[in-house]
Amino acid sequence: MATGTAIVLSGGMLSEINAKTTHGLLRGSERFEILAVIDSNHAGKDAGEVMDGRHCNIPVYATIDEALQKVSVLPDFCIVGVATIGGVLPPSILDEIREALMHGISIINGLHDFLSERPDILKLSQANAAMLIDVRKPKRRAELHFWEGKIYQVTAPIVAVMGMDCATGKRTTARFLRDACRAKGKNAHMIYTGQTGWMQGGEYGFIFDSTLNDFISGELEHAIVSCWEETQADIIFLEGQSALRNPSGPCGPEFLISGNAKKVVLVVPIKREFYDDLPEWGRIPSVESEIALINAYGAEVVAVALNTQGATGEEIEQYKKEKEAALGIPVVAPLEEGVEGILAVLSI
């Protein structure tokens, strides 16, 4: 099991949504102790200040060499902290990976562009006794589970945290909800479904978008049932992926049907007009229509969580006021105010 100290590569994108893996690691990881972020565009700053204006005491350095001169120990791992469209490794990050390997630092890569399939990278890792861990590498058929119906035995509430688009804060909201429940003495757990969730220390879950389609439902069921049986969880949160109607990768019915989630927290990016901010991908539909679609699957949206990127404090408050009046459910901004406002509708 990979665990230890780490530096994170954000490829000059620390302030952008493409660095969401870095952002997740900065907000917390039970698997890795983050020593520094490597980002030439934001060197000399505190990583948390760049991310969301909050100090987190993790420095940003321009290069790996600079970081190694400043950190107290040689990191065990160097983590690729970006999520690019199509999962392609940027050339600049490849150069940094080579540099890390030459120092004997193992690499954690969460992109679809596998390092272990690049002969030069593989040779360099072997020469320096460093590991290449491609988190998104598909499991072998023998490791996969087919859906069996065991999900109906689970008596703990299952809550899906779904979003209106990619990179809206679904995983972060799910972690906040888990932690808030635990703070109240509840045995809460989260099922990770992406590479960052694993990097943050998720014990139960799978990598949704690298799983053979026939086995997605089964892997989801297996993760939930295993968590419930082994932990006697009081409540289980599911980390959603993409969005029900994002044309680049529609996703979500699996959580509601195969995962039997009857309650949903819907994450809404209030300043985003188009899917992935690309007009050619289509306009994001209304919150009301998304709730109606989720209802059609037999689930209930019990709260709305806001992705407030690009919004002013006044805009956030106005949106909250309007939507709470229109929808009749809690509307919260997790990064600004936490998720306490959601707990009441979860009976926590």
Spatial separation of the C-alpha atoms in residues 220 and 223, rounded to whole Å: 5
- Report the percentage of the chain scoring pLDDT > 90: 97
Task: Name residues whose C-beta falls within 8 Å of residue 121's C-beta, 6 or more positions apart in sequence.
Answer: 94, 97, 98, 101, 115, 132
Q: What mean pLDDT, rounded, does the chain reach?
A: 97
The mean pLDDT of 322-326, rounded to a whole number, is 97
Given a cut of 90, is residue 84 above it in pLDDT?
no
Spatial separation of the C-alpha atoms in residues 336 and 348, rounded to whole Å: 21
Spatial separation of the C-alpha atoms in residues 39 and 6, rounded to whole Å: 14
Give pLDDT tens digits for 144-198: 999 999 999 999 999 999 999 999 999 999 999 999 999 999 999 999 999 999 9
Instruction: For residue 58, give both structure tokens.
Output: 């993790």
Q: What is the pLDDT of residue 87?
A: 85
State the pLDDT confidence band at 100, using cuts at 50, 70 and 90: very high
Task: Name residues whose C-beta falls within 8 Å of residue 246's C-beta, 6 or more positions apart in sequence.
Answer: 165, 166, 275, 276, 281
Which DSSP string corresponds to 162-194? EESSSSSSHHHHHHHHHHHHHHTT--EEEEB-S
For domain 143-346, which CATH number applies: 3.30.300.30, 3.40.50.300, 3.30.360.10, 3.10.580.10? Answer: 3.40.50.300
Q: What is the pLDDT of residue 1?
A: 66
The mean pLDDT of 70-94, rounded to a whole number, is 93
Q: What is the pLDDT of residue 85?
A: 80
Q: What is the pLDDT of residue 224?
A: 99
User: What sign has the CA pseudo-torsion 122, 92, 3, 173?
Assistant: negative
Q: Where are the domains of the chain?
A: 4-134, 143-346
Same fold, 4-134 and 143-346: yes
The mean pLDDT of 34-62, rounded to a whole number, is 97
Q: Which CATH class is domain 4-134?
A: alpha beta
What are the C-alpha distances in Å from 160 to residues 190, 215, 265? Answer: 10, 19, 6
Instruction: For residue 307, give both structure tokens.
Output: 């992705």
State the pLDDT confidence band at 86, using cuts at 50, 70 and 90: confident
Give pLDDT tens digits for 7-24: 999 999 999 999 999 999
Given a cut of 70, is residue 112 above it in pLDDT?
yes
Give pLDDT tens digits for 227-241: 999 999 999 999 999
The arrangement of strands across the sheet holding 132-134 comes to 60-61, 32-38, 4-9, 77-80, 106-109, 132-134
Give pLDDT tens digits for 238-287: 999 999 999 999 999 999 999 999 999 999 999 999 999 999 999 999 99
Given a cut of 90, is residue 342 above it in pLDDT?
yes
Say if residues 56 and 28 touch (Cβ distance below 8 Å): no
Task: Tell me which residue of 194, 184, 178, 195 sits closest to 231, measured CA to CA.
Answer: 178
